[in-house]
Amino acid sequence: MSKAKPTDFDWANLDFSYHDLPFRFRTFYRNGRWEEGKLVTDSQISLSEASPSIHYGQQVFEGLKAYRRPDGGINLFRPNENGKRMNRSAKRLLMPEFPVDRFVEAIKQVVLANKEFVPPYGTGATLYLRPLMIAIDSVVGVQPGKEYMLNIYATPVGPYFKGGLTPTAFVTSQYDRAAHGGTGRAKVGGNYAASLLPGSKAHETGYSDVVYLDPIHHEYIEELGSANFFGITKLGQFLTPKSPSILPSITKLSVLDLSKEMGLKPAQVQISINDLDLFAEAGAMGTAAVISPVGSITNQGEKHVFYSETEPGPITLKLYNRLTGIQFGTETGPEGWVIDLGK
Choose among ligand PLP, ligand COI, none what residue 183 binds, the Cβ cut-off being 5 to 8 Å by kind.
Answer: none
49-82 in b/e form (b: 16+ CB < 10 A) is eebbbbebbbbbbbbbbbbbbeeeebbbbbbbbb
Other residues' Cβ atoms within 10 Å of the Cβ of residue 253: 14
Closest CA to 61 of 7, 3, 129: 129
What's the first-to-final CA gap in the chain, in angstroms? 29
Pick one of 60, 118, 134, 250: the residue that binds ligand PLP (CB under 6 A): 250
- Restricting to residues 271-300, name those near ligand COI by CB under 6 A: 286-288
- Restricting to residues 199-258, name those near ligand COI by CB under 6 A: 226
Q: Give the SS3 label for residue 90.
A: helix
Closest CA to 106 of 40, 39, 164: 39
Q: Is position 187 annotated as part of the catalytic site?
A: yes
Residue 69 or 252 with smaller CB distance to ligand PLP: 252
Whole-angstrom CA distances from 239 to 228, 234, 312 are 11, 11, 17
Position 249 contacts ligand PLP (CB under 6 A): yes
Q: How far is the CB of 227 from ligand COI (least distance, A)?
A: 7
Position 281 contacts ligand PLP (CB under 6 A): no
Q: How far is the CB of 85 from ligand PLP (least distance, A)?
A: 7
- Restricting to residues 129-188, name those near ligand PLP by CB under 6 A: none
CB-nearest residue to ligand COI: 63
Q: Which residues are CB-contacts of 32 (< 8 A; sequence separation ≥ 6)?
A: none
Residues in the chain, overall count = 343
Q: How far is the CB of 186 from ligand PLP (least distance, A)?
A: 10
Q: Which positions lie near ligand PLP, rule CB under 6 A?
A: 63, 223, 226-228, 247, 249-252, 286-287
Summarize as ranges the residues that interact with ligand COI (CB under 6 A).
Answer: 63, 226, 286-288
Please list the active-site residues: 187
